[in-house]
Structure 1
Amino acid sequence: MNKPPLLPVVVPTRTHSLVELPSSVARYVEAGLHGAENTKRGYAADLRSFQDYCEHHQLLHLPAEVTTVAGYVSQMADRGMKLATIRRHVAAIAKLHQLAGQPSPTSHEALNVVLDGIARIVGKRQRQAPAFTVAELKQAIKAMDLTTPTGLRDRAVLLLGFAGAFRRSELVALNVEDVELTRQALVIHMRQSKTNQYGQEEDKAVFYAPSADFCPVRAVQEWITCLNRTTGPLFTRMSRGNQNRPAQPSQNRLTDQSVNDLVQRHLGIMYSAHSLRASFVTTAVEAGQSNKAIKNQTKQKTDAMIERYARLDDVKRFNAAQYLGL
């Protein structure tokens, strides 16, 4: 039986023209247009919000007018939403128009002026996840019940997340088989991350600490022993326990939100999962580490990102005025 011929693929380009490509490239076109799974999920929620706004105001969401998008982002700014969130919504609207082969209103100069104005008014002092100190982390570890699987898991999450400068999405995506113990360090093989969406394997190295209580390598090893398996999610949710038996590891992977909850439960409500990464950068900068050494762990591409992540705005702790010799 002859298979029906495959149709060519029509690709909308950034100049809004349509390019016809052979059917053999269809799966690459799909991956290129839609992007990473986390990005698609975020865009879907943002676009639902934009569509609801348009329906409420009886406006067309596709193709959208520049005035429509300007009104939408202004409303978000008035509601106190973060500048980064507003820009993500704009990116989602741009992606929607690209996929539909429609000119995007997001590239219009008038909208850029509106966004610049929003940045000046609401983006001056955006709240960033604060960095905790090593002393605070150690205090949190000391307070854990390490006789339970939950305690072993939480310790491993905090120590690995901090020592490896992990994003929470990277932590929850790790599998047991991604962890390799070598003589010098624990090497984590990451298949994909926010800055590496093309599947080129990246490695992070986590080193032994002098004290076994606060050693990320030993903490991860003990947790894997508790899991009692060699494949599957590294960090999982716990089953319900009872008086006779504490909660045990399940087969279900931790979520981004559960990592955030875990950080706040042990370190305090003022912190978030992003504090793990910010604290690594801040501690490393304070210890005099080079930008190259920091980027080798964080996988950031530019020195400017290190400046953005480092929480060095405490004028009493980080100030050259202490060293004037007066």
Structure 2
Amino acid sequence: MAAIRTMHRYANVPLPETKAARKVLDGYRQRLALAKDPAAKPRKADPAVPDTLRAMLTVLDRATLAGKRDAAAMLLGYACATRIGELVALDVADVAETPDGLLVTVYRPKIKKFTEVAVPYGRVPATCPVRAVRDLLTAMAEAGRTAGPLLVRITRHGRIAAPLTRHGRPIGDPDGRMTTDAIADVITRIATTAGLEGRWTGHSLRRGFATAARRDGKTLERIGRHGGWADGSAALLGYLEEGDRWTDNPVVGL
């Protein structure tokens, strides 16, 4: 329906009425719900809260370049509350280490602006995003890469992948930048290896940050500004409700 209405706008003709079509969809959705069909429920990624991240990190071989990359991707994506597209868009130049931690420049397409996200040192070295990014940058520098994408393709032999070609023509990012699908596959694969049940995607990191931050008592304003959510974001409010489910349960004490 959205596509049809958009094409009508482009053709500069009156928009079609969708009230009847929406009623049909509402009825279909209700029938699915009454039948207990899983299709009636929204498909949400499970939130990667700190305990989940720890379990995922334990299955990585962080002595390898791929392990360092995957650890940095998970911890930085979580600490910056990035969407998966924002994470893969990061360049080496976007990450600056300061005495207090990392200052990460993230472009947030939803709000159409750059944000500077402060990422402090973690108390535990194994789950510290600052140390994880530093380890990755050091390993990449040893491999001859000091600029360009932060998260790059790595071959099964542990080397930064060469540019891809098909029939002699370059395909993908010539600098080896990972795609959003590739990062999502990495997160899913690591979660599966760690024996985690549920639906784990690249968005699990962003949801996990919001859920854990709310459980720790952080305010809506601080969480929203840190993660680049628009004011009054319905998605953020939904994450916070999940975080409040137990910590601010109205049944407690009644």
SS of the residue 1:151 aligns to: helix
Contact 2:111 2:229 survives alignment (8 Å): no
CA RMSD of aligned residues (A): 2.6
| Residue 158 (structure 1) aligned with residue 74 (structure 2) | yes
Match of 1:278 among 207, 218, 241: 207
**Map of 2:229 onto structure 1:** 300
Match of 2:21 among 106, 111, 116: 111
Contact 2:81 2:205 survives alignment (8 Å): yes
Amino acid at match of 2:249: N
| Residue 196 (structure 1) aligned with residue 140 (structure 2) | no
**Map of 1:223 onto structure 2:** 136
Gap runs ≥5 in structure 1: 1-89, 242-246
Match of 1:257 among 168, 175, 181: 181
**Map of 2:45 onto structure 1:** 129
Q: Distance in 2 between matches of 1:149 and 1:311?
A: 38
Further displaced range: 310-319 or 227-236: 310-319
Q: Distance in 1 between matches of 2:204 and 2:71?
A: 15
Q: Distance in 2 between matches of 1:308 and 1:118?
A: 24
Contact 1:279 1:310 survives alignment (8 Å): no
Contact 2:81 2:227 survives alignment (8 Å): yes
**Map of 1:289 onto structure 2:** 218
Q: How far is the alpha carbon of 1:127 from its aligned partner?
A: 2.8
Q: Distance in 2 between matches of 1:181 and 1:122?
A: 51
Q: Which has the higher contact order (CA 8 A, sep 6+)?
A: 2
Q: Would the alpha carbon gap of residues 118 and 297 (structure 1) be closer, same or farther in structure 2, given more than 3 Å must change?
A: farther
Write out per-residue CA displacement over residues 280-319 of structure 1, whole angstroms, 9 at most, x where no aligned residue: 1110111111001110112112153322224728977763
Q: Distance in 2 between matches of 1:134 and 1:259?
A: 19
Match of 1:266 among 190, 193, 217: 190
SS of the residue 1:237 aligns to: coil
Q: How far is the alpha carbon of 1:126 from its aligned partner?
A: 1.5
Q: Distance in 2 between matches of 1:285 and 1:120?
A: 32
Q: Distance in 1 between matches of 2:3 and 2:140?
A: 39
Q: Distance in 2 between matches of 1:314 and 1:205?
A: 25
Q: Would the alpha carbon gap of residues 293 and 98 (structure 1) be closer, same or farther in structure 2, given more than 3 Å must change?
A: same
Write out per-residue CA displacement over residues 174-220 of structure 1, whole angstroms, 9 at most, x where no aligned residue: 11111122222312112342x133xx322222221012111001111
**Structure of larger gyration radius:** 1
Gap runs ≥5 in structure 2: 34-39, 162-174
Q: What is the percentage of aligned positions where both structures have the same residue?
A: 31
Write out per-residue CA displacement over residues 16-65 of structure 1, whole angstroms, 9 at most, x where no aligned residue: xxxxxxxxxxxxxxxxxxxxxxxxxxxxxxxxxxxxxxxxxxxxxxxxxx
Q: Distance in 2 between matches of 1:217 and 1:226?
A: 14
**Map of 1:173 onto structure 2:** 89
Calculate the TM-score normalised by the size of structure 2.
0.78
